[in-house]
Amino acid sequence: MQRVKLYDKTFRTFITNDRIMSAIDDVAAKINDDFKDCEDIPVLLCVLNGSIMFMGELMKRLSFNCQTVSIKLTSYEGTNTTGRVKQAMGLTADLTGRRVIVVEDIVDSGNTIVELKQILADHGASESRICTLLLKPDAYKKDIVLDYVAMEIPNDFIVGFGLDYDELGRNLKDIYVLDE
C-alpha cells in the first residue's frame, strides 16, 4: 500500500488506476447506449478543476459527437465543505436548447449538483444529466437523480485522479484516502 504526504496529512492508496479505468469503461458504455442514435450534439460540461482527469478519460470512450464546455465551482476549504457553492468561472459557451451531460469528479453533499442544475436551467439547457466518477451515498441527501455513477465510496476524504487537498494531489493516478 502506497502512502503520499500532502501538506500536514498522509493518504494511503484506496482505489487503483486500473479499477478507476474499469469503472470509467462501464459508465461510458451506459452513456454511449443512451446517446447512440442522437442526432443533436450533446455537451459535456466539465466541472473544474477536479473533473479534468475523469473528463479526459470519459471523452476518449464516447462514440458519439459531443462538445465540451467548462465551469468552475468551489465549495471546499481544506478537507471540509463550506456548504456554500461559489461560481469561480462561469459557463464557457451558450447552452440554450442543448442537452448537457455534467461531468463531476465526486458527489457528496449534493450542493454543487443542485447549483449546477439551476445554472443549466437558467441558461436554457433543454436537458441535463449528471455523470459522476464517485458518489458518497451516505452524504448525498438531495432528490436530484444522478444518471451515471461510476463508483460509490464511503464518506471519507480522498485525493488523486483530479481530487485535491488544498490544490495538491490532483495529479496522482490512483485515488488515496486520508490515513489517520
Specify the number of domains making up the chain.
1
Q: Quote the cell numbers at residue 49.
A: 478543476
In a domain, 6, yes or no: no
> Is 33 part of the annotated catalytic residue set?
no
Q: Which pLDDT score, from 0 to 100, does residue 122 have?
A: 94
Q: Which pLDDT score, from 0 to 100, does residue 81 have?
A: 59
pLDDT band at 91 (very low <50, low <70, confident <90, very high): confident
How many C-alpha atoms does 22 have within 13 Å on its Cβ side? 7
Average pLDDT of the residues of the chain? 93
Q: Which pLDDT score, from 0 to 100, does residue 107 have?
A: 95
Can you give the residue range of the structural domain that contains 127?
18-146
Give 158-175 pLDDT, tens digit per residue. Answer: 999 999 999 999 999 999
Q: What angle do CA 76, 147, 160 make, to 5 degrees?
A: 40
In the chain, the percentage of residues whose pLDDT exceeds 70 is 94
Give 26-83 pLDDT, tens digit per residue. Answer: 999 999 999 999 999 999 999 999 999 999 999 999 999 999 999 998 765 655 656 6
In a domain, 157, yes or no: no
Q: CB within 8 A of 118, min separation 6: which ones?
A: none
Catalytic residue among 105, 108, 164, 174: 108
| Residue pair 147/102 in contact by the 8 Å Cβ criterion | no
In angstroms, the Cα distances linking 8 to 14, 137, 156, 175 are 19, 28, 17, 18
Q: Quote the cell numbers at residue 32.
A: 454511449
User: Which CATH number do you get for residue 87?
Assistant: 3.40.50.2020
pTM: 0.93
Q: What three-state secondary structure class fits 43?
A: strand
In a domain, 86, yes or no: yes
In a domain, 8, yes or no: no
In a domain, 170, yes or no: no
* SS3 track for 92-137: CCCCCCCEEEEEEEEECCCHHHHHHHHHHHHCCCCEEEEEEEEECC
pLDDT band at 108 (very low <50, low <70, confident <90, very high): very high
Mean pLDDT over 11-32 rounds to 98
In a domain, 156, yes or no: no
